[in-house]
Structure formats: C-alpha cells, structure tokens
Structure 1
Amino acid sequence: MMTILPHLRARILLLLSCSIVLTLPTAYAQDTPAQAPPQQTKPTPPSPDDAGPDTDNGTIVLKKKKEADEPPPPPAPVAPKVKNPDNETFSLRVDVPIVNIDATVILDKTHQFVPGLKANNFLILEDGVPQTITSVRTTQTPITAVMLLEFAANSYYLINDMRNASYSFFRTLRPDDYIAVVTYDLRTHILTDFTNNKELIAQSLSSLVIPGFSDTDMFDALYETLDRTSRIEGRKYIILIGSGRDTFSKLTLDKMLAKVKSTQNITIFTISTGAMLNEMRGGGGPRELDYLQAQNQLQTFARMTGGLSFAPIFQGELPDIFSQINQSIRNEYILTYRPTNNKNDGTYRKVKVLLVDNEGHPLRMQDEKGKPQKYSVIARDGYNAKLPVE
C-alpha cells in the first residue's frame, strides 16, 4: 500500500475543493430553464376620444378632461351694491316752492309804464313778512284775452256802453294777439273761440244787435270763463265789460271770490257800463245802492287778480282807458322769490308789492322838472300755496 506524503495530501484536498466550487454555478444554470428576453413594443398614440390622463386598474379613476369648446359655467352673480332704480344713488329731494308775481308800475297821470326798475327797488311782503327777491325781468308779449260782455235786454244805454268799450278794445289789438268773445245774459254764449283773425272778431261784435234775456248772471258767466281759461298755459286776461249786476246766478259772491283766489295766471280788467245812466238818474235810493254794490264787486275782482277797474262816464275816456290796460298787459315785471313759508298746506298767502329806495324807504319819482310823480303798483294780492299731493 502506497503511502501518501503529508504535503502531497494537503495539495490534493485543495484541488478537489476548488473543482467543487467551480462546478456548482454551472449545474444550477442547467437546472433553470432559459427565459426569453422581454419584447419591446412601440407605444401607440392615444385616440382623440381617449385624450387626457390614462386610467389604471386601481380603485381610483381619474375623469377625462372636458371638451375644450364647452363654455365654462357662468360666474356667481355679484350682489348689487346699489338698489335704487337705474343705479341712481339715493338722494333727499326737498321741494322748495318758487313764486312768480307779475307786477306793473305805471304813472297815475300819464298811465305810462315805468321801466328800468331793479330787484332792490321792489319789496314783497307775504303775510306781512319781507321776502328775498331772486330775479326781476321785464316782458312785452302778445296777449291772450277773453272779452266777456254783458248782452242782456235790460237797457239800451248799457248795451251802447258795452259796444263802444268792446270796439275800443278791438282797435288796440295786434296781429299776434289771441282773443275770444263771450257774452252772457241768463246763459253764457261763446261767439268766437281764441283767434287772431280780426275779421272774425269784428263779425262777432257786429252780431250783438238783439239781446235775448234781461237776466245778467255775471257770477256764473265769470266762473265758467275762469274755469275754461285756466286750462290754457301762460298768462291770460279777462276784459269784463258789464254793469256788474247779478240776478239769478247759481253761485254766491263768496264762492265767486273763492274761485278768483284759487285761479292762477289770470288777470281781470273790468269796465263798468251805466255810469252815465246813473248820473242822469241823480243818484240816491235803492238804484244807487245797487249800482255801488255792482261797482264794488267789479273792483274786487280786478284788485284780487292785479287788474284795473274803470267806470267811464263819457265815450271819450275809452281810448285812454284801453291805453292804460295795454300798458299794464304788454309791459310788466316778473318778480321771482322763494317764500319763507315753504309749507305746502294749500293756504291763501296775502302778497303786497311795494317800491323802495336803496335805504328801504318808499320810492319817490319825479319828472324832468323835479316835480313828484305819483305811481301805482299793480299786482295780484295773493296766491294759494300748493297742496302736499301736487
């Protein structure tokens, strides 16, 4: 038996251990089946319907993006900051009334209009309280007037006086004046509506030949004329030519005066008929009292509206009378002020217009020779304040 040396045995053991280690990976590789390498495929682009993020197989699904052409939802409405109509801001409106007073200043002797007066020359007292005048202007405009004529079968003298006075006024008319002709006895008769045709007016006056009734219902006729004329815009005038007597009117004098007070922008001028007849009778007795009462009524109507009243005895006085009326109608001052009493209570306010100098004293006028001149200020004596609902 062969004996192996110790150093040789150690070398043989080392070689055997190395060969065992080298053969183990090969054997393991032979036992494991070979796997084909993964095939790389080119990704396909998504179709238009599948645009947007992909979805996986998990429990969370991402929604697709909405179509680009779909309009976005409207924004939430903004609460309006202004609640007033038309986006107007709230404001407090205070209705301060404005009063216009038509005033005429004429010389008593010549009946001429006095021009050139300023705001500081006028003093307006409303219920005794001085007012501050904001503006003064003068106007000269065509007139719109009603000739209200008493035509009744009571006296030839009265009819003759009426016809003379109406023709005298007719001669003073201008082409741009508008006149209506109305007569009254028991009833009111409109002969001509407002017109500037002088031929038509002349025909109406020439038709006054034969009266119908002897009654003179002046209150009813004046009330009806005021009511119709008040519907016309602007300044109007009533030329009342008659005796001033009233027989069977349905209205009383108190109601008539209330109507005159409540009617704005109408001035009444009165020309009394029968002054010569009263002089021939010698005056005195019931007829004299009746005549004086009639004159007082005519003067009251004129004074309350800022007009003038006349009682001519002779026909020759008529041209001067209508010259004065024309001076008063066609030339006037318009005074504007805001009343200190600004309540809209519908009450009647008494108004008085005075002329003063720079120191507040009554204004004095004189002619070229230094002689004092008397004058008259013609203006209505009051007005009705507005009501709260107006």
Structure 2
Amino acid sequence: MLLRRANFILISAVFICALAGNLRAQSGRVPPPAPTPADQREGQQEPVTVFTEEVRVPVFARDEYDRFDPTLAPLDVLVLEDNVPQQVRSVRRIPASVLLLIAAGGELNPAHSLKLSRAAALNVISSLRPDDQLAVMQFDNRTKLLQRWTTEKGEAERAVRSKLHTGSGANTAAALQQAASLFADQPPGNRHIVFITDGVDTPGRQMSAAELVRILSSDAMILGGRNGSAEAMRRLQATQVTVHVLSYTSFGRREIKERDKRSAQSTNAPPGSVRSSGVATAGIDPTMPPTMNRGGAIGPPRGDGITFDSDAKKVRKAYGKAMQRSEQQLKSLAAETGGLLLLPTASADLITAGGEIAQEIGTQYVVTYAPKRPLANSPATEYRRLTVLPRRSGLTLRSRRGYVTAAMK
C-alpha cells in the first residue's frame, strides 16, 4: 500500500515538470532585459522652448493734478500699434539710464553760457532717483565722454564741475549718434538723453562774416542737415532712447533782440556821447577799437558787451533765423522719442528746467505687450507707429511715436 502511494506521487511530479516545460516552449518569449538609463532618455520627449515676443514702451503718467500717478495698472492703458489695439501685459517701474549731453561751444549764441549749462546739469543729477544710472558727455566739433555710467551722483557731479570745459563749434548730429551708442550695455525700456543745446551747428574756426552768414543760412547747419539728423534719429530709434531737450533757442533769440535794440539806441544817441562811441558801458577793453569788443573774427562777442558793427549784426540775424529752424527740429526730435522740449527765456528758468526734466523722467513706466503681428515676420528696419491712450478719467499718458522692430528682437 505504501509502495503504491509513493509511485503515484513520483508519477505526478514527473507529469507536472513535463507540462511546465511544454508551456514554456510554446510561449517562445524571452523576458526583456531591464532598461538602461540611456534607453530611458531616448524614450523621453524633448522639451519645447517657446519664445514670447515683447514690445517695451516708455510711458509717462500724470494724474489730474499733473503729478506722477503711482497707481498705473495694465487696464488703465490702451496701446495701438499701427492703429491695431494690443493687449497690455504689464506696467512696471525700473531704474533709468540718463545721459547728459551738453553743448560746450555756442560762441555765436549770446545767451549760451557754460556756467548756466553746468548749473542745469547739476539740477538734473540732484533730482534723479538714487538707483538711476548717470553718464556725462560734452560736445563741440568733437564729442568727449566725461563720466561713464555710474549710480554715484557724486561722481557725475564732479565730472560736470571739473571736466566740463568751453569748446568751439558744434556738431550736433555726430554727438547724438555717439550718445546713442553709449546705451548698448544699458537695460532697455528706460533710457534718456538730456540734450542741452540750441541745435545749430557751427564751424568753430575763423572766417569772414559774409562766409559765416552764408553757412548759417544753410539747412545743413541744423542738427547735421537732412542726412546727419536722419542717421541720428535712426540710431536713437534703434536704441529706444527718449530725448529731452533743454534748448537755448528762445533765450538766444531774446538776447539777439536786446542787443539789436541797444545797438539802435546807440546809433540814435547824440554825437560825442558815450553811447554813440560804441564803448561798452560795463568794462572797457583797451585792446579793441572803440566800436568793437571781444568776439573774434567768427561773429559777435559774448557776455554783456555791445557791438555796433554791421557785419556782427548780420551774423546775429542769420544765427537767430538758424535757431528758429533748429527749434522746429528739436521739437520734432523730442516728440518722436517721447521726450520734453523746454524753451526757457531767462537764466533762472534754464536752471530750473533741469529739475523739471529729472522729475519727468521719474514719472516713467515701462508698458509691455506681445504684438499681434509677430516681429519675427517683419524686416529689422520696419517702423511701427504707436499711440498710447488712457482708459480712465484724469489720467494723462505720453510716449514715443513708434519703434523699429530690430530694437525689440
């Protein structure tokens, strides 16, 4: 009995082993090897990078009381690009990069004074925010960098006080072009030039009055002429710089009228009187003829002296007309870039204007949006017109008139 049971168990075990081997042979499948890290990486999908285009627009914001509005929000701003409404993404404030560009010539403008320009520039510096970047340049026939970018107001003030010196002549277009290049390493969105000038180019060398009158009568002497000013504007647009102009034009024309008035009074004075002699009432220069004072061969004198020479009067008249033309060009420059044009007519007003410009810079926001017409589909030189409007009552907004697509790519 025990022998029969043992045989049954042995036969059952052999049957089960044979059946398992048969099933394994029928499947024909070999278990796959464990995946390696390299195989796992190959199976993963590559991440997709999405590039979002963004246009940055400098916008100055003031409330109903003409003060800086600190509450500006995206819903308060309507941006039209080539008359197409855009969706504003953000409104933010960032530190400004401010370049002081100061004319050091101006020998033909009776109102121009480096002392006044220095005082106005110092007023700009002292009125800016602590984290704003500053740089200083002067120009005459050449452009010179006096102070590189710094957040230390003391460094900029020392440059204006000790390095700013009187020059000769003026090449305004070249100065603007070099100024634009200085912003290459500055953060975009809040870039400014404070341009202290009358906008008239002068040769800065001795020549006859007739030749000088001829030169001043040419439009080529206004902001570098058509080609020079066009190239300067192209570079300013490419770097998205806002230009604020502190102009000597109105002040200079006023001084010319005053000099002509004093000249006429002296001409009508009784023979033999001091006024008829042509001698300046404040300070006599014994080295000059009695009917002339310091001013050189290129034009009328500077300061409080009086000149009755008919050639000098012609030069003054030609320069006055040149300043009228340059004022229109400066107005266009400021409007196109979204800046201010200030036209003081007295020394105190000119100095105060520096602080006004700094306060205006302090009211700027950077408004951003993704253009509905992609920048990637446009040539780098394409110019797009901008209109920025307020969406709520009492709010006043001002911005540049447009931008070049290359500046946003």
TM-score (norm 1): 0.64
1:253 and 2:233 aligned: no
- Cα deviation, 1:58-82, whole Å, max 9, x if unaligned, reads xxxxxxxxxxxxxxxxx7999x989
What corresponds to 2:102 in structure 1? 149
Give the secondary-structure state (helix, strand or coil) at the position aligned to 2:91: strand
Q: Distance in 2 between matches of 1:263 and 1:230?
A: 7
**1:102 is matched with which residue: 32, 53, 58?**
58
Could you say if the C-alpha distance between residues 215 and 299 of structure 1 is closer, same or farther in structure 2, counting changes exceeding 3 Å? same
Contact 1:112 1:327 in 2 (8 A): no
Give the secondary-structure state (helix, strand or coil) at the position aligned to 2:334: helix
What corresponds to 2:347 in structure 1? 315
- Cα deviation, 1:334-365, whole Å, max 9, x if unaligned, reads 322221111421211111101134xxxxx4x2
Q: Any residues of structure 2 matched to 1:155-234 within 5 Å, and which? A: 155=108, 157-160=111-114, 161-207=116-162, 211-212=166-167, 214-234=168-188
Give the structure, 1 or 2, with the largest relative contact order (CA under 8 Å, sep 6 or more).
2
Q: Any residues of structure 2 matched to 1:283-302 within 5 Å, and which? A: 286-302=318-334
Specify the code of the residue in structure 2 equivalent to 1:149. I
Q: Any residues of structure 2 matched to 1:221-370 within 5 Å, and which? A: 221-234=175-188, 235-247=190-202, 252-264=228-240, 266-282=241-257, 286-318=318-350, 321-344=353-376, 345=378, 346=380, 347-357=382-392, 363=393, 365=394
Give the secondary-structure state (helix, strand or coil) at the position aligned to 1:312: coil
For residue 186 of structure 1, report the CA deviation from its aligned partner: 1.0
Q: Which has the larger radius of gyration?
A: 1
For residue 149 of structure 1, report the CA deviation from its aligned partner: 0.5
Specify the code of the residue in structure 1 equivalent to 2:105. A
- Cα deviation, 1:240-298, whole Å, max 9, x if unaligned, reads 1111123465961221222122113x222110024222023339964343112212222
Contact 2:128 2:362 in 1 (8 A): no
Give the secondary-structure state (helix, strand or coil) at the position aligned to 1:383: strand
For residue 185 of structure 1, report the CA deviation from its aligned partner: 0.6
Specify the code of the residue in structure 2 equivalent to 1:185. D
Could you say if the C-alpha distance between residues 87 and 220 of structure 1 is closer, same or farther in structure 2, counting changes exceeding 3 Å? farther
Contact 1:106 1:328 in 2 (8 A): no
For residue 96 of structure 1, report the CA deviation from its aligned partner: 4.2
Q: Distance in 2 between matches of 1:146 and 1:306?
A: 16
Q: Distance in 2 between matches of 1:94 and 1:168?
A: 46
What corresponds to 2:297 in structure 1? none
Specify the code of the residue in structure 2 equivalent to 1:105. A
Q: Distance in 2 between matches of 1:135 and 1:210?
A: 43
Contact 1:148 1:184 in 2 (8 A): yes
Q: What is the total number of aligned residue pairs between the two structures? A: 293
Contact 2:111 2:255 in 1 (8 A): no
**Unaligned 5+ residue runs, structure 1?**
1-74, 358-362, 366-374
Contact 1:131 1:337 in 2 (8 A): yes
For residue 314 of structure 1, report the CA deviation from its aligned partner: 2.0
- Cα deviation, 1:185-232, whole Å, max 9, x if unaligned, reads 1111112222344443333223367523x2211111111111122222
- Cα deviation, 1:82-116, whole Å, max 9, x if unaligned, reads 9xx976525766644221222112269x6411333
What corresponds to 2:401 in structure 1? 381
Could you say if the C-alpha distance between residues 106 and 327 of structure 1 is closer, same or farther in structure 2, counting changes exceeding 3 Å? farther
Contact 1:181 1:192 in 2 (8 A): yes
> How large is the RMSD of aligned CA atoms in angstroms?
3.5
% identical aligned pairs: 25
Could you say if the C-alpha distance between residues 107 and 326 of structure 1 is closer, same or farther in structure 2, counting changes exceeding 3 Å? farther
Moved more, 220-229 or 201-210: 201-210
For residue 332 of structure 1, report the CA deviation from its aligned partner: 2.7
Give the secondary-structure state (helix, strand or coil) at the position aligned to 2:58: strand
What corresponds to 2:68 in structure 1? 113
What corresponds to 1:21 in structure 2? none
Moved more, 295-304 or 244-253: 244-253
Q: Distance in 1 between matches of 2:322 and 2:346?
A: 21
Q: Distance in 2 between matches of 1:119 and 1:202?
A: 37
Q: Distance in 1 between matches of 2:42 and 2:34?
A: 22
What corresponds to 2:4 in structure 1? none
